[in-house]
A and B are shown apart, each in its own frame.
Chain A
Amino acid sequence: MTATVETRALRRRRLRPPRVLVVAALVIGMVFAGPLAYVVIQNVREGADLADIVWSEDTAGPLVRSLLLASVVSLTSALIGTVLAWTVVRTDIRGRSLWKVVAPLPLVFPSFVGATALISGFATGGLLEQLVEPLGVGSLPELSGFRGAWFVLTLFTYPYVYLPVAARLRHLPAAPEESARLLGRRPLQVFTSVVLPQSLTAISAGALLVFLYTISDFGAVQLLRYDTLTRAIFANQLANRATSFGLALLLGIVAIVVVAGERALIRRDPPTSGRNRSRALQIPLGPLRGPVTVAVGAFFLVALVGPAASLLHWLIRGLSSERSRGATAVDVDGLWSAVVNTVWVSIAAAVVTVAVVLPVAYLNARYRSRTGTAANALVVSGFALPGVVIGLAFVFWVLSTDLFVSFYQTLPLLVLAYVIHFGAQATGASGVAVGAIPPHLDDAARTLGAGRLRRFTTIELPIMAPGLGAAGGLVLLSVMKELPATLFLAPIGFDTLATRIWSAMETVSYAQAGLDSLVLLAVSGLLTWLLVIRAAEHLD
């Protein structure tokens, strides 16, 4: 039996991937290449001189700042996301079930409203300063520039790391950790010597998403006054289209280089050996239990309660003010339909995205394949381009022939746009999920005569469930806050919570923005609990 497993493993390494998988990855890669191809076409059409743009002084500064910010935010997010995931999933910290629900939530703040809320909470003259003023505390450090962007983006992006790592930790075999503990290792030593090496793929997949999100973010860096590449892309989008598209292409190239680098550097995790039907091991924190609980609580006080308090403050302040325009401070008409629209469109996009990227994840986790590598890079490039560019690329391709005109600005196409924009968020976590399937289980089932479909539904899917849940959860939260592509591609009159919030912010209706953002937060919390956490536990 042992010999058979070994030869199979050896053969697998040399085995060519199934043709159907390669073809699927090829098709998927081509669809995901749409936005980047559009950017290339526009570069040619506008006669952009890429070399000229890249080496110009005006580009160098913003490019360096983009890369610096993205690197630093990735590092801190990786640290926070990993530590938080381990603490929440693996220790006996108090209030675990609460932390599980709230931990992914900061991801749902659209950066334009999240950054504004954090600024009005923590910046000079903000809520916090007003609160601590009577205590004799002077002015707080200014929340802007590099420091501000770093702080805000870390708080809003660490869930990209948290979700896949938490999913990975749920499925790590308890035995090595148990042994380490029995050998007298302290919790921290267990974490660094056993847990960390086994979660590296999930951590780096998440950190990669943070990196890509940061280099493509516009809302937060603009509000925090940190001049990056995206500002130059937007500043030039009407007047200097060649520059704007040249810089967008640069962003896409950076993304592909970083993705390739990540794949080359990070060794894939070995598939988990041994069945893990037991509950994940819980490490008693002992005397540290109190302080760790307080630390985690304090973190969420800043990341979640802080912005939420600002939003609530806007709402209450607006409701209590006299209004001269004969208008009410908030409008609840249309709020319910926006909730319904947001919920179902984001669920649909999450499910379709996970299904679409799964073949690519299989190909890359199981085989060495150039097609797989290329498809993966193309899927990821869709996330590195700003949403406006993705939206315009869609408009360009759909209206380039008469064929799809009747689908233009319909919901199926909107969902497809979300899939392409956020596919990258699902590939990493799905790859981790596929990697979690012990090969010998599959082999055993095959030996027993189980067909491909049966093996998939009865063996692989349950094992992958937490990972796929994390993948879908990331997409879900991202779609719920997506704005630019929605404004371009949604059917007229199809409001989502994000479009309502944006609309309110544009006309300085902060009370309305506060109410709608709090609703968005509540709805995303509910969905995370129902679809990501409960589902994963149920299948465990």
Chain B
Amino acid sequence: MLKIMRVLPVLLVLTLAAAACGGSDDSAPATGTLEGKTVTVYSGRGEDLIAAVFEAFETATGATVDVRYGGSDEMALLIDTEGDRSPADVFISQSPGAVGFLDQNDRLTTMSDDVLQRVPDTYRADDGTWVGLTGRVRVLVYNTDLVSVDELPGSVLDLTDPAYAGKVGVAPSNGSFQDFVTAMRADLGDDATLEWLEGLAANDSPNYAKNSAIVDAVSRGEVAMGLVNHYYLAEALEEDPDLPAANHVFPDGDLGSLLIVSAAGVVDSTDDREAAEALIAFLLSDDAQRMSADAEYEYALVPGIDPPAGLEPLEDLAAVQVDLDVLADGLTGTLALIEQSGIVE
């Protein structure tokens, strides 16, 4: 069904398919085992980012992949509302929050260890209902005309300093910002987190709708800096290489450089668990993971794969290891704190 394949050159896909067929990667299913089967995916990840991998899976296995694209939260709501009659076999989410929501509502089923153990256990659910696919780092994007390098903060906690008043754009309604706040709660406790949020509020940190809106605003010079995920700038630079903006990764394993994962799980009402798991296993194959790093500017979570061009290795970034289960389960408390802090304008 996927007619549009635009992100990657055909060559790469063919190489990938050939690699999968050749069985160079033990997590990928053998050729033709899924002939005639259809896997229905509800994907919160964009078509641009992931369609090529689905197409490679179709070529490798003979299965058909039907994909419904939409926002992660909306797709999770859709699966939850559909109930037992859901056509979805696999759910792919941009963030841990949406898979956590389905897990809490018992709509995801446990996957086999073969799939789960492709990634380190910090990047998957303790109960085996979801597994991380790729990672992105929280960064501070800044306007290079307005901010000099020595003005950049050493820690995300410094942003409550009056020196940053009005200068830092945030997206409190956005999933990644909320994930970050949840991680902070796990690391520093609710009181310190609330204090930090209130500090941002006292600094009149301007609110934006989402990461891309912050990157746009920083590039225009409307606001000097903003808390976002790292890859939005790379995408924006593709559109306009002259943007006066750069990413600042908080150094020394600061909490600010938290890694947030995209994730996948098998929907409990699936009629073909085997095919569904095969697809997720394929997404975690070395080659598919390499595609993510190359094409999406995101970190592969399977060990041993190079970081995206121009980024430090994962190990050097996240000294603070936050259990992702915490991110998936902590949303309600986080929203309450955000609401209470008055950061929302």
User: Interface of A with B (CB < 8 Å)?
Assistant: 58, 116, 119-120, 123-126, 142, 144-145, 222-223, 225, 227, 231, 234-240, 314, 317-318, 321-329, 331, 333-334, 388, 391-392, 395-396, 399, 402, 405, 408-409, 484, 487-488, 492-493, 499, 503-511
Q: Is the CB of B220 within 8 A of A509?
A: no
Bound Cα distance from A399 to B82, whole angstroms: 7
Interface residues of B (CB under 8 A from A): 1-4, 6-9, 12, 40, 46-49, 66-71, 73-74, 76-78, 81-83, 85, 87, 97-98, 101, 173, 206-209, 212-213, 215-217, 219-222, 232, 235-236, 238-241, 295, 331-332, 334-335, 339, 344-345
B132 CB to closest chain A CB, in angstroms?
A: 19
Residues of A within 8 A of B67 (CB): 492
Q: Evaluate contact between B66 and A334: CB separation under 8 angstroms.
A: no
Q: What are the residues of chain B within 8 A of A484 when measuring CB–CB?
A: 74
Q: Apart from A234-B173, A492-B68, A508-B232, what are 20 other A-B pairs with CB-CB below 8 Å? A: A119-B213, A125-B219, A125-B221, A223-B209, A225-B206, A237-B77, A238-B77, A238-B331, A318-B239, A327-B8, A329-B239, A392-B81, A484-B74, A487-B74, A504-B48, A506-B71, A508-B235, A508-B239, A509-B48, A510-B239
Chain A residues whose CB sits within 8 angstroms of the CB of B87 once the complex forms: 408-409
Can you list 27 A-B pairs with a CB-CB distance of less than 8 A? Answer: A119-B216, A125-B220, A125-B221, A125-B222, A142-B222, A222-B173, A225-B207, A225-B208, A227-B344, A237-B73, A238-B73, A239-B101, A239-B331, A317-B239, A317-B240, A321-B240, A325-B8, A326-B12, A327-B7, A408-B87, A487-B70, A492-B1, A492-B40, A499-B69, A503-B47, A507-B49, A508-B239
CB distance from B218 to the nearest CB of A (A): 10
**Docked-complex contact B241 and A321, CB < 8 angstroms:** yes
Contact A487 B173 (CB under 8 A): no
Contact, CB under 8 Å: A145 / B241: no
List of B residues within 8 angstroms of A240 by Cβ: 332, 335
B78 and A395 contacting across the interface, CB-CB below 8 Å = yes
- Nearest CB to that of B86 among chain A residues? A399
A392 touches B77 (CB 8 A): yes
Query: With A145-B345, A488-B70 in contact, do A314 and B239 touch (Cβ < 8 Å)?
Result: yes
B238 touches A323 (CB 8 A): yes
**In chain B, what residue has the closest Cβ to A395?**
B81
Chain A residues with Cβ under 8 A from B83's Cβ? 399
Q: Is the CB of A236 within 8 A of B82?
A: no
Complex Cα distance, B67 from A484, in Å, reads 16
Shortest B22–chain A CB gap in Å is 23
- The answer to whether A505 and B212 touch across the interface, beta carbons within 8 angstroms, is yes
Pair A238/B238 contact, Cβ less than 8 Å: no
Interface centre among A120, A396, A509 (most CB of B within 10 A): A509
Whole-angstrom CA separation of A488 from B69 in the bound complex: 9
For the complex, give the distance between the alpha carbons of A272 and B245 in Å.
Answer: 62
Inter-subunit contact B220/A324 (CB<8 Å): no
Residues in B neighbouring A223, C-beta threshold 8 A: 209, 213
Contacts of A493 in B (CB 8 A): 1-3, 66
Q: Which of A225, A231, A331 contacts B6 (CB 8 A)?
A: A331
Q: Across the interface, which residues of B come within 8 angstroms of A408, CB to CB?
A: 85, 87
Chain B, Cβ-Cβ closest to A488: B78
CB distance from A294 to the nearest CB of B (A): 30
Q: Are A328 and B73 interface neighbours, CB within 8 A?
A: no
Which residue of chain A has its CB nearest to the CB of B85?
A399
Chain B residues with Cβ below 8 Å from A231 are 173, 344
The answer on a CB contact under 8 Å between B6 and A508 is no
Among A318, A408, A493, A506, the one with the most B-chain Cβ atoms within 10 Å of its Cβ is A506
A499 surroundings in chain B (CB, below 8 A): 69
Contact (Cβ within 8 A) B6 A327? yes
- Supposing A227-B344, A321-B240, A508-B212 touch, asked if A235 and B335 sit within 8 A by C-beta, the answer is yes
Given contacts A314-B239, A396-B81, A509-B239, contact A239 B49 (CB under 8 A): no
Write the nearest CB–CB distance from A285 to chain B, whole angstroms: 40
Expressed in whole angstroms, the minimum distance between the Cβ of A66 and any Cβ of chain B is 14
Complex A-B, nearest 7 residue pairs according to Cβ-Cβ distance, in ascending order:
A125-B220, A508-B235, A487-B70, A124-B222, A125-B221, A239-B331, A239-B332
C-alpha spacing A327/B51, complex, angstroms: 13
The answer to whether B220 touches A124, judged by C-beta atoms less than 8 angstroms apart, is yes
Q: Which residues of B contact A318 (CB under 8 A)?
A: 238-240
Q: How far is the CA of A408 from the CA of B68 in the complex (A)?
A: 14
A237–B76 CA distance with the chains assembled, in angstroms: 10
CA distance A499 to B4 in the complex (A): 14
**Shortest Cβ distance from A238 into B: residue:** B101
- Tell me how far the C-beta of A43 lies from the nearest C-beta in chain B, rounded to whole angstroms: 15
Please give, as numbers and ranges, the residues of chain B lying within 8 Å of A225 by CB-CB distance: 206-209, 345
Which residue on A lies nearest to B222, using beta carbons? Answer: A124
- Cβ-defined contact, B48 with A507, below 8 A: yes
**How far, in whole Å, are A469 and B319 apart by their CA atoms in the complex?**
63
Question: How many angstroms between the C-alpha atoms of A130 and B12 in the bound complex?
Answer: 41
Least CB distance from A121 to B in Å reads 11
Chain A residue numbers with a CB within 8 Å of B78 are 391-392, 395, 488
Q: How far is the CA of A399 from the CA of B71 in the complex (A)?
A: 21
With both beta carbons as reference points, the residue of chain B lying nearest to A115 in the complex is identified as B209
Closest approach, in angstroms, between the C-beta of A227 and any C-beta of chain B?
6
Closest to B333 in A: A239
Tell me the nearest residue of chain A to B232, going by C-beta: A508
Taking CB atoms, residues of chain A closer than 8 Å to B217 are: 123
Separation of A499 and B69 alpha carbons in the complex (Å): 9
Which of B213, B215, B335 is the one whose CB lies under 8 Å from A236? B335
Asked, given contacts A237-B77, A395-B81, whether A507 binds B46 with beta carbons under 8 Å apart, the answer is yes
Are B209 and A222 in contact (CB-based, < 8 A)? yes
Chain A residues within an 8 Å CB radius of B236:
508
When chains A and B are docked, how far (Å) is the Cα of A145 from the Cα of B1? Answer: 42
A144: nearest residue on chain B (CB-CB)?
Answer: B206
Cβ of A504: which chain B residues have Cβ within 8 Å of it?
Answer: 48
Residues on B with C-beta less than 8 A from A239 are 97, 101, 331-332, 334-335
Contact of A238 among B49, B76, B239, B339 (CB under 8 A): B76
- Cβ-closest chain B residue relative to A514: B239
Interface centre among A223, A231, A325 (most CB of B within 10 A): A325
Chain A residues closer than 8 Å to B215, beta-carbon distance: 508
Question: Complex: how many Å from CA A391 to CA B74?
Answer: 10
CB distance from B130 to the nearest CB of A (A): 15
Q: Which residues of chain B are within 8 angstroms of A511 by Cβ–Cβ distance?
A: 239
CB-based nearest B residue for A322: B241
Q: B68 contacts A487, CB within 8 Å?
A: yes
Q: Are B208 and A58 in contact (CB under 8 A)?
A: no
Which residues does chain B contribute within 8 Å of A409, judged by CB atoms? 87
Given contacts A124-B221, A235-B173, A488-B70, contact A334 B3 (CB under 8 A): yes
A380 to B194: give the CA distance in the assembly, Å: 41
Taking A125-B220, A507-B49 as contacts, is the C-beta distance between A405 and B85 under 8 angstroms? yes
Q: How far is the CB of A310 from chain B (nearest CB, A)?
A: 11
Bound: A489/B229 CA distance, A: 30
